Structure 1
Amino acid sequence: MADCLQKPDPATLAADIPSDDSDVILVVEGRPIHAHRQILSVASPVFRAMFSHDFKERQETSIDLPDKKHDDVIELLRWIYPTSRRNLTDKAVYRLLPLVDEYQIEWLKVYCEEYLLQAIVAKENQGFSPAEYFLKHLYIADRHSLQNLSKLAIELCKTIPTRTIEETPSFSQLDDHRRWMLMRLRATHLEEKQGRLAREIRSLAALVPSVMSIQTDIPSRCPLCTASKFLSAGNHDSNTSQDKRRPLACPSCKNKYERIVEKVKSDL
């Protein structure tokens, strides 16, 4: 009874010795993988059609899967068989996505995209931002129609220096339209950044007269600062603009000055 309930471990599906209840053999790179039609059909509409309609595979017990890698198919089966799933890795996702697309396993495609989104966010939060990593995942997103991953990768890529983007190998893998769009978004990002800097400069320029009037007003009420200005000025008129801009002499005036400057900044 226990043997009947026991499900095969996909890690051993590639073995030459078949499972007792397997009813189909997938041949990949000349190596047999013993599997089950029902499980494959539930997971993939492509397999379901293959086993249900007038395909030659319906009658055959051995099905050749050309242009596939043995380890990639084993990785796919580990996820199709529910008792054999394990944690995803970047390498596993790169193996899975082409097969997931071909066999239309949508739930696994969504899972792979969620993993990549979390991986990129984690890298970005750690300050890890090489252009190759982000551009590579933009290429993967475009190739497999992963819309959320594409949006995130673009947001990160547009902050990378233009020359760095152009010199990154994955950039050349993008199609012409994507490269053009990325450069356009990069230019827009730089224009917005330039606009923010211009506004900050104007704000600082507007701050200067207020700061100067504060600095000249405080010493007029402080004997120490007034004496310091008089001595440093020599025989010059203490009301000259050059004299008024001399540093404050006492710590108390300096502290008052700094506090008022911060208030003026916050009011701008």
Structure 2
Amino acid sequence: MSSSRDIQYYTSTSDENLNDDPNLKEFDFTIKSTWSDLQLEVEGKTLYVTRSFLAMISPVFRRMFASEFKENESTNISLPDKKYEDVLVFLRCSIPWSSVKVTNENIVQILPLAHEYCIAGLVEDCCVCLMQELDTVIEAKRICDIYFLADKYGLTKVIEKCIEKFSKTSSAQYRNMELFNTIPSDIRYRVMLARLQVIDSPPAPTFVFAQSGRTPWK
């Protein structure tokens, strides 16, 4: 009878490895595949990847593997300043066909890593997620939170959307808010100008038609 160690070894090296299934839709980075040639050590746990995958999605990893860094030859890379769950969801979101997408809940896990490793497509996904949230958000505090996140990672389109959103939100929500007052003065000035423009914009014209019993275009 095979021991649990034998089963694990067989799973990690045989052609029947779950990650080797040609119909696989969800890659499991926690399981070693037959082609895994690199291990990421995070919080005492291991994630199994391939150099070619990391090099394909990230110019940072491409430079790392092409350089004289010790990571160039090592089969293990330690990420001491990262969290295991953050790296795992980041890797899964990096696969275009993955069911794991950027959401309001996991964006704070994904965006820092996508920015650090210069994965433009994933950064854009984060940008789209924040823009969509701004379309519906009504709380001034959440707009502030989104602004600071966008500012930290240079998401200029999101910053512009935050200014627009503030201009259409009642100033009573944020004018005395401590968090809003920590936003740089030039941004708050732009909010003020945008709000004045909204206030000064003339109302849409209304048309009144005589009740003649006929539609106005006849």
What's the secondary structure of 1:91's corresponding residue? coil
1:249-264 alignment runs, 5 A limit: none
Is 1:20 aligned to 2:46, yes or no?
A: no
What's the secondary structure of 1:33's corresponding residue? strand
Which residue does the alignment assign to 1:52?
Answer: 66
Are the equivalent residues in 2 in contact too, given 1:134–1:157 (CA < 8 A)? yes
Deviations 1:205-237 (Å, cap 9, x if unpaired)? xxxxxxxxxxxxxxxxxxxxxxxxxxxxxxxxx
Count of residue pairs the alignment pairs up: 189
Instruction: Return the match for 1:129 from 125, 135, 138.
Output: 138
* Residues 172 and 60 of structure 1, relative CA distance in 2, 3 Å threshold: farther
Are the equivalent residues in 2 in contact too, given 1:8–1:19 (CA < 8 A)? no
Is 1:97 aligned to 2:97, yes or no?
A: no
Are the equivalent residues in 1 in contact too, given 2:164–2:191 (CA < 8 A)? no
Are the equivalent residues in 1 in contact too, given 2:41–2:78 (CA < 8 A)? yes
* Residues 195 and 13 of structure 1, relative CA distance in 2, 3 Å threshold: closer
Cα shift at 1:164: 3.1
Deviations 1:114-139 (Å, cap 9, x if unpaired)? 12212221x1xxxx411011111111
Cα shift at 1:2: 7.0
Cα shift at 1:75: 0.9
Which residue does the alignment assign to 2:12?
Answer: none
* Residues 187 and 51 of structure 1, relative CA distance in 2, 3 Å threshold: closer
* Residues 152 and 100 of structure 1, relative CA distance in 2, 3 Å threshold: same
Instruction: Return the match for 2:165 from 123, 132, 156.
Output: 156
Which residue does the alignment assign to 2:189?
Answer: 184
1:107-146 alignment runs, 5 A limit: 107-121=121-135, 123=136, 128-146=137-155
Are the equivalent residues in 1 in contact too, given 2:64–2:71 (CA < 8 A)? yes
If asked which structure has higher relative contact order (CA below 8 Å, sep 6+), I would say 2
Which residue does the alignment assign to 1:65?
Answer: 79
Are the equivalent residues in 2 in contact too, given 1:72–1:96 (CA < 8 A)? yes
Cα shift at 1:144: 1.0
Distance 1:39 1:79 in 2: 13
Q: Output the amino acid matched with 1:63.
A: I
Which residue does the alignment assign to 2:90?
Answer: 76
Deviations 1:165-190 (Å, cap 9, x if unpaired)? 2544643653xxx2x12332343345
Q: Output the amino acid matched with 1:53.
A: S
Q: Output the amino acid matched with 2:53.
A: I
Q: Output the amino acid matched with 1:57.
A: E
Q: Output the amino acid matched with 1:19.
A: S
Question: Unpaired segments of 5 or more residues in structure 2?
Answer: 1-14, 211-218
List 4+ stretches of structure 1 deviating above 6 A. Answer: none
Larger Rg: 1
Distance 2:30 2:158 in 1: 33
CA RMSD of aligned residues (A): 2.9
Taking structure 2 as the reference length, the TM-score comes to 0.74
Cα shift at 1:40: 0.6
Cα shift at 1:193: 5.8
* Residues 195 and 120 of structure 1, relative CA distance in 2, 3 Å threshold: closer
